[in-house]
Amino acid sequence: MSKKENNTPGNGKKRSVIIFIIVIIILILGGLSGYLFYQVSSLKSGAQDKAAETTEAPKVVPAEPPLYVHLDTFTVSLKPVPADSDRVLYIGLTLRLKDEKSKVLLEQFLPEIRSRLLMLFSQQTGPEISTENGKLELMREIKRVVSLPLNDHHTISVDDVLFNAFILR
């Protein structure tokens, strides 16, 4: 048999159609792989950008140093009770204030604040303030008395009350 006899009349068209289909499939697969590569690379770069944003140290705003105002010591006769008739309290205080405005107000109204504190201390009894709970309650009362409104409704913001001296005789 010769080659001419083996070739049938429609055999060439079938081969060209199959080759055409294979080329189309290869082009589609190439385009799809390029598209997927682009998408994956953009996801990676987006994830890296987000990771870089989250790994950056947050900007730390330096905290303002605390404002302490030392008050001169107080020597006060305490409220008499039947068991203790003559008790004296010697107390030194430092106030930690929230802001500079409170410090200025405290300095301006210091005589009024000292008077309020003297009145508060003179109402205490020895047994009340000799315990730890009594001292903690006194600290809360000092904060409350100092924070009462002043002239023109100005108030002093007290964060904490610190005892420098506390002698009860």
d(CA 125, CA 104): 32
> Has domain 67-168 been given CATH number 1.20.1050?
no
Q: Is the pTM above the cut of 0.75?
A: no
Contact criterion met (CB below 8 Å) for 92 and 165: yes
Which residues touch 96 (CB under 8 Å, ≥6 apart)? 66, 67, 68, 158, 159, 160, 161, 162
| Averaged pLDDT of the chain | 84
Location of structure tokens 């189309």: 24
- Between 158 and 84, whose confidence is greater? 158
Q: Is 68 helix (H, G, I), strand (E, B) or coil?
A: strand
Q: Please write the tens of the pLDDT for every residue from 62-76.
A: 777 889 999 999 999
Q: Please write the tens of the pLDDT for every residue from 8-65.
A: 565 667 788 888 888 888 888 888 888 888 888 877 776 666 655 655 656 676 777 8
Q: How many residues does the chain have?
A: 169
Helices (H), the chain: 3-6, 11-55, 100-108, 110-122, 126-129, 132-146
Kindly state the tokens that stand for 16.
């060209």
d(CA 88, CA 126): 8
